[in-house]
Structure 1
Amino acid sequence: MNMNMLSEKVKAVINKIDFSGNVLVKRNNDFIQQYSNGFANCTHSILNNEDTRFGIASGCKIFTAVAICQLIEKGQLSFASKLSDILNIPFPRFDEEITIHHLLTHTAGIPDYFDEEVMEEFADLWVNQPMYLMRNGRDFLPLFQNEPMKLKVGERFHYNNAGYILLGLVVELVSGKGFDKYVIENIFKRAHMEQSGYFELDALPSNTALGYIDEENGEWKSNIYSVPVKGGADGGAFVTAEDMHRFWQALMKFELLSETMTKQLLTPYINTDNDYDRYYGYGVWIDKKEDSISKYHVMGYDPGVSFHSAYYPESGLISVVCSNKSEGAFDVFKEIENI
């Protein structure tokens, strides 16, 4: 495999920002661009390669949305199902009219454990709450379950990680399986994403990139004390670039959901920015251009993680940019779009 299959313009951006990660662009199964750069393990000088697994932070909210839609297809749930009727967990200050649809579209109005509208540093969460104890969805409940509503139900889009934590708990209750096990069995295996999973930072499998945070003094540190030890329904899965490509293919070929349900997942339900033609479906961002959809995309940012991936319906192109640094994926992703 030619790992130098990359345009000079994209390569220039990679060199300028010292990008660490993998780039993959394919149309159907034809390689358009592919490139690996930087170290998966800086201490031991282990290079990233085409099969390196990367954390994708919130980029995996779409997996949670697909899981919910699968359960709805089976008749075990509906988009109108109320959170208060499903989970036997006390949320004393939550509105009882919150539905699965509200949680999927970030319109439930609930408080978030990490509110991106008021907080900047995700790592600050773990000063008083040890990150090594955060291994499943229930571990996050004390961070938000007793807080008041931030907004009225359905009032507006408010990007919300806690909402997806709750969706993960719904998946567990309805399916009778742990969230990660459900996703691996019903999404990853069906999409042939053989290298992907929800790995623990203190038990990472081989060929998995460690996340790195650049310090102001020019040095770096790993992200092991800056993110939860294990990801879940709101983010934190690990994938290879090729596995993410396989996910988009399986989704768009209706191998994960029926055609009708896939269209529901990909419907632009709520405008996310009044100044931009960007919408949110179920676990996926949707950009419009002149009343037609120009791309479906997912993204994720955590300390030591940056990720962007998109499917472009007009061309059939799929792009994936994974990085094991806090920044970089967006710059490379935009340059790919420019060309």
Structure 2
Amino acid sequence: MIKLIEIFYYILKISNVNLIVEMVRGIKMKNLEEVIEELQSKVDFSGAVMLQNGDGHAETASFGYANRADLLKNNLETRFGIASGCKLFTAIAICQLVEEGRLTYNTRLKDCLDIEFPSFSEGITIHHLLTHTSGIPDYFDEDIMDDFEELWIKRPMYHIRSLKDFLPMFQNEQMKFSPGESFYYNNAGYILLGLIVEQASGMEFTEYVQEKIFKKAGMNDSGYFSFDALPSNTALGYIDLPDGSWKTNIYSVPVKGGSDGGAYVTVEDMTKLWKALFGELLLSEDTLHKLLIPHAQVNETGYYGYGVWIKNHDNQILKYHVMAMTQELVSIPPIIQLRKPLP
């Protein structure tokens, strides 16, 4: 059994994630609101915070606005769009299907999907897709574009409602490098993982996550809601502009999220997710270990597991986190003692 020692959870919109993390780590359960108020003078902060220790005691706080124009404040029940933070859900889904014997981490992409990728390497595996080491082209190429709004000039975002809608944006492009050669953060790889989940399970990806992850974890307020039909108490995403003004992100993201990002969650639901994950309600201990160990090195101390970023130093994991774009999600799950040593 993995031992839970401490739990920290945040959903927030900030400009310096590490500053928040280290300061809140230090104060633990004391004077949370005072520390957050102090931080507001140092960073741009808006969102909900939950700080919970191993015995279940929690301190909570919320700040800023879910809707800036109408001055509607965030609260602990506010749903936040977490963009790429959802890659963790995709990785969990794949790991569940591996446990069921429907897939393996070494299963090749070409053996999973009956879709033509003319220029893709035949050696691409599920492991490569999970770790951003596949070398496939991305649908958002930072070498060419620097704004997500540019993506939708030829293909409006309101037409992107299923995973297959993304395929024309990358399936005929050239490989960037050979599988396993390098780390290159890649949304298209997680689109393919979502399609693999659909093929292997016979369910739509968002339906699978809702039933097999959210429902099992008790995440009753979370979901993949359409941007044009959001439920009440859902925060809008904002883009801060250089001149100090802002705009919403409605022209920057697809109308409905999928396997590369786009779910909406509450801070309490993310707490439930980590508890379910570490309580082995979603994955076995062996599979959880596979999810959380470093697989690909990003920089000197940064690594990527399966759907999760890892800070590792001297063969010791310091923290895990998942990141989103406009409303950033920082989830630092329990500092854990893994039964198996790191590779």
> TM-score with structure 2 length normalisation?
0.85
User: Which ranges of structure 1 fall in alignment gaps of 5 or more residues?
Assistant: 317-339
Q: Which SS does the other structure have where 1:101 is aligned?
A: helix
Match for residue 137 of structure 2 among 103, 106, 111: 111
Query: Contact 2:91–2:291 at 8 Å: present in 1 too?
Result: yes
Distance 2:313 2:334 in 1: 12
Distance 1:23 1:36 in 2: 6
Change (3 A) 1:105 1:315: closer
Q: How many Å apart are 1:306 and its aligned residue?
A: 2.1
Change (3 A) 1:269 1:184: same
Change (3 A) 1:124 1:149: same
Distance 2:235 2:36 in 1: 22
Q: Report the counterpart of residue 293 of structure 1 in structure 2.
A: 317
Query: Contact 1:23–1:35 at 8 Å: present in 2 too?
Result: yes
The residue type equivalent to 2:221 in the other structure is: Q
The residue type equivalent to 1:310 in the other structure is: I
Query: Contact 2:191–2:259 at 8 Å: present in 1 too?
Result: yes
Match for residue 52 of structure 1 among 68, 74, 78: 78
Q: Which SS does the other structure have where 1:68 is aligned?
A: helix
Match for residue 272 of structure 2 among 246, 271, 275: 246
Q: Which SS does the other structure have where 1:305 is aligned?
A: coil
Deviation track 1:260-296 (CA, whole Å, cap 9, x = no partner) reads: 11111112111111xx222111111111122111112
Q: Report the counterpart of residue 284 of structure 1 in structure 2.
A: 308
Distance 1:309 1:120 in 2: 27
Superposed CA RMSD in Å reads: 1.9
The residue type equivalent to 1:309 in the other structure is: S
Q: Report the counterpart of residue 113 of structure 2 in structure 1.
A: 87
Match for residue 308 of structure 1 among 322, 330, 333: 330
Q: Which SS does the other structure have where 2:322 is aligned?
A: strand
Query: Contact 1:115–1:160 at 8 Å: present in 2 too?
Result: no
Q: Which SS does the other structure have where 1:190 is aligned?
A: helix
Q: Report the counterpart of residue 216 of structure 1 in structure 2.
A: 242
* Stretch moving more, 12-21 or 68-77: 12-21
Q: How many Å apart are 1:115 and its aligned residue?
A: 3.0
The residue type equivalent to 1:157 in the other structure is: F
Q: Which SS does the other structure have where 1:189 is aligned?
A: helix
Percent identity over the alignment is 55
Q: Report the counterpart of residue 174 of structure 2 in structure 1.
A: 148
Query: Contact 2:51–2:60 at 8 Å: present in 1 too?
Result: yes
Size of the aligned set, in residue pairs, is 309
User: Which ranges of structure 2 fall in alignment gaps of 5 or more residues?
Assistant: 1-29, 339-343
Distance 1:105 1:118 in 2: 23
Q: How many Å apart are 1:73 and its aligned residue?
A: 0.7
Distance 1:55 1:152 in 2: 33
Match for residue 152 of structure 2 among 115, 123, 126: 126
Deviation track 1:43-62 (CA, whole Å, cap 9, x = no partner) reads: 32211111100000111101
Q: How many Å apart are 1:203 and its aligned residue?
A: 0.3
Query: Contact 2:33–2:61 at 8 Å: present in 1 too?
Result: no
Distance 1:239 1:116 in 2: 27
Query: Contact 2:66–2:235 at 8 Å: present in 1 too?
Result: yes
The residue type equivalent to 2:303 in the other structure is: Y
Is 2:102 aligned against 1:76?
A: yes
Change (3 A) 1:263 1:306: same
Change (3 A) 1:171 1:61: same
Q: Report the counterpart of residue 188 of structure 1 in structure 2.
A: 214
Q: Which SS does the other structure have where 1:201 is aligned?
A: coil
Deviation track 1:149-192 (CA, whole Å, cap 9, x = no partner) reads: 00111101111100000000000011110000000000001111
Change (3 A) 1:218 1:279: closer
Q: Which SS does the other structure have where 2:318 is aligned?
A: strand
The residue type equivalent to 1:295 in the other structure is: K
Q: How many Å apart are 1:17 and its aligned residue?
A: 3.5
Distance 1:126 1:24 in 2: 36
The residue type equivalent to 1:42 in the other structure is: R
Q: How many Å apart are 1:7 and its aligned residue?
A: 4.8
Match for residue 185 of structure 2 among 152, 159, 179: 159
Query: Contact 1:5–1:33 at 8 Å: present in 2 too?
Result: no
Q: How many Å apart are 1:215 and its aligned residue?
A: 3.0
Query: Contact 1:279–1:287 at 8 Å: present in 2 too?
Result: yes
Q: Which SS does the other structure have where 1:202 is aligned?
A: coil
Q: How many Å apart are 1:307 and its aligned residue?
A: 2.1
Q: How many Å apart are 1:80 and its aligned residue?
A: 1.0
